Amino acid sequence: MLQKRAPIITIMGHVDHGKTSLLDFIRHSNVAAREAGGITQHIGAYQIEFANQKITFIDTPGHAAFNKMRERGAQITDLVILVVAANDGVKPQTLESIRFIKESKVPFIVAINKIDLPDLHLEVVKSQLAEAGVLVQEYGGDVEAIEISAKTGLGVDKLLETIVVMADLLELQADPDAPLEAVVIESTKEKNKGSVARVIVRSGTLRTRQDLIVDEITGRVRLLENEQGKSLEQVLPGEPAEIIGLDEVPEVGSVIRDASASYDQDLTEEFSKTGVLEKSFGMSDEVNWDKMDLEFMLGEKEKIKLIVKADVKGTLEAILQSLDKDTVEVLSCGVGQITEQDMELARDDKTLLIAFNIKVNNTQKKTAKNMGVKIKEYNIIYHLIEDLQKSMLKLMDATFDEVVTGEAEILQIFEMKGETIAGVRVKTGELKKADLLHLKRGEEIIANPVLKTMKHGKDEIDRIGTKNEGGLTFKNKKLDFQVGDIIVAYKKEA
């Protein structure tokens, strides 16, 4: 029988605009202080109770490298809170979040944060939102904008009240007696726990001692815990939990089921109609991060060889997506501690071994030194990416001098017939369809895109001159471009 379930809320927005601080205030704990560098490193799910209503929050990361994880968060949520700092306004990741929200067709609330600071211009923020296609109610739109301070708590109760009202209007329901479906939002392997899966239950009920299956992985629930480490006997639809007892680490976005139950093919569709989108997280079925085999087409060109080990699969995915395939070769990747097999592979291929959010003990360091293996440890993802980008550029500059022939700024991003299109204006020089390109964010080269199409209106064109505009699509399937990024056209001179 269908019953009311907790709404699933995702918090999105630009880095440092207060997403984690808001959630921290709501649940009266100290997430931000214990996160390395103040940046949320992977998705967590938390539940509170307000006005006799349970609310589940998905806290998605703020750094640009985690854009795919934010997209997955938006695609399972019932409602999004878009956080915009009153002193900073609309920024590139704000625009990116707005795009994800619109693509997911999820209702959302704007939380204008940091109103406790002096000399604010709230109308400027609202005007910027309007320019980005978000019309708040006082501008004649239908988006609720609530002014808050995550630091003092001012306006937070009003925000929660609005969430409760909107959740009631959505009439979110699920059947706790239906066969179990729980979506993996994060997974890892821990020394004392073994394989750990963090999930949100979509339908049915998750119970201790339950036999589970997910893809080819099986196991029995030895322990269920909430975000505070409290043991649970059962988890109902819309609620988050951590499962201990699976034989292996499941993929993020996979669906855990009761191994003894029979499943109706219409369950997923039924759940989608009650508020959660069918395609959880937007993960590609063809990607297997544990057995990743990246193919490169550039012959004998030198590449940086890497073995990447991370604490959780969501972080591993973000790292892999940030790498430039022209200059980096990933020999192996996975979650969990560095093994002797990893070191042997690194020694044989003179490979850099990356340990992200993983403690490398003194014994491992000594073994690595004796084997001539270089291990680099990181706990902030953009530090890792910056270091790799510097190494990539050294490889690129070792053989060729680059002559810039044009620069274009991305002014708008939009979708048409399944294609993501970058609307650009050429600032200097010209952009030609056959050009070699860099994608720059600030002063950093973050990718080397390859043009697929170049259009002006509906017409196919071969070049865009200075001060002119056009629409670009790219052959790179997972290219992360944002409004404000610069596309640099160049040629190589030996």
Q: 218-275 pLDDT, tens per residue?
A: 999 999 998 878 899 999 999 999 999 999 998 877 889 999 875 444 433 333 333 3
What lies within 8 Å, CB to CB, of 383 at 6+ separation is none
CA–CA dist 135, 155 (Å, integer): 20
Largest CA distance in the chain: 71
The whole-number pLDDT of residue 379 equals: 83
CA angle 299, 300, 305 (to 5 degrees): 105
379 Cα distance to chain centroid: 17
* Segment 64-107, tens digit of pLDDT: 445 555 555 556 789 999 999 999 999 888 888 898 888 778 89
The whole-number pLDDT of residue 394 equals: 57
Q: In whole angstroms, how far apart are CA 293 and each of 288, 296, 307?
A: 9, 10, 12
- How many Cβ atoms sit within 10 Å of the Cβ of residue 174? 24
Q: Is the pLDDT of residue 113 over 80?
A: yes
The whole-number pLDDT of residue 167 equals: 94
255 DSSP β-pair partners: 183
Q: What is the dihedral of CA 154, 156, 162, 168, to 10 degrees?
A: -150
Give the chain's radius of gyration (CA, Å).
24
Task: Name the pLDDT band for 289 (thresholds 50, 70, 90).
Answer: very low
What lies within 8 Å, CB to CB, of 260 at 6+ separation is 211
Task: Name the pLDDT band for 20 (thresholds 50, 70, 90).
Answer: confident
- Alpha helices by DSSP H, listed for 235-339, are 267-273, 313-321
Structural domains of the chain sorted by starting position, each given as residue range(s) with its CATH number in brackets? 3-171 (3.40.50.300), 181-273 (2.40.30.10), 289-397 (3.40.50.10050), 400-493 (2.40.30.10)
Phi-psi region of 8 (alpha: psi -120 to 50; beta: other; left: phi over 0): beta
The whole-number pLDDT of residue 389 equals: 67
Q: Using an 8 Å Cβ cutoff, are 36 and 103 in contact? A: no
* Segment 297-349, tens digit of pLDDT: 333 456 788 999 998 887 888 788 777 777 788 999 988 889 888 898 888 66
Pairing status of strand 145-147 against strand 108-113:
parallel
The whole-number pLDDT of residue 468 equals: 86
- Nearest alpha-carbon partner for 309 in 278, 264, 351: 351
CA–CA dist 28, 58 (Å, integer): 16
CA–CA dist 44, 31 (Å, integer): 10
CA angle 169, 175, 177 (to 5 degrees): 160
| Low-confidence winner among 167-171, 270-274, 300-304, 356-360 (lowest mean pLDDT) | 270-274
Average pLDDT over residues 13-42: 70
| Low-confidence winner among 25-29, 169-173, 418-422 (lowest mean pLDDT) | 25-29
Average pLDDT over residues 430-459: 89
The identity of residue 412, as a single letter, is Q
For helices 67-76 and 92-104, what crossing angle results, to 10°? 30
More reliable by pLDDT, 269 or 356: 356
Report long-range pairs for 469-472 (Cβ below 8 Å, ≥24 apart).
469/411, 469/423, 469/424, 469/425, 469/426, 470/423, 470/424, 470/426, 470/431, 471/421, 471/422, 471/423, 471/424, 472/421, 472/422, 472/424
pLDDT above 70 covers a percentage of the chain that reads 82
Place of tokens 């409760």: 164
Q: Is the pLDDT of residue 288 over 50?
A: no
The identity of residue 342, as a single letter, is D
CA–CA dist 138, 110 (Å, integer): 13
CA–CA dist 412, 471 (Å, integer): 9
Q: Give the predicted TM-score (pTM) of the model.
A: 0.59
Task: Name the pLDDT band for 377 (thresholds 50, 70, 90).
Answer: very high
| Low-confidence winner among 119-133, 205-219, 250-264, 365-379 (lowest mean pLDDT) | 250-264
Task: Name the pLDDT band for 56 (thresholds 50, 70, 90).
Answer: very high
The whole-number pLDDT of residue 254 equals: 81
| Low-confidence winner among 27-36, 207-216, 268-277 (lowest mean pLDDT) | 268-277
Q: In whole angstroms, how far apart are CA 79 and each of 57, 110, 164, 172, 307?
A: 10, 11, 11, 11, 38
- Assign 97 to helix, strand or coil: helix
Task: Name the pLDDT band for 282 (thresholds 50, 70, 90).
Answer: very low
- Assign 284 to helix, strand or coil: coil
Place of tokens 């706790």: 176
More reliable by pLDDT, 159 or 27: 159
* Segment 30-54, tens digit of pLDDT: 455 545 555 555 547 888 889 889 9
* Segment 378-401, tens digit of pLDDT: 887 767 777 776 666 555 554 456
Q: In whole angstroms, how far apart are CA 144 and each of 13, 122, 138, 162?
A: 16, 14, 9, 9
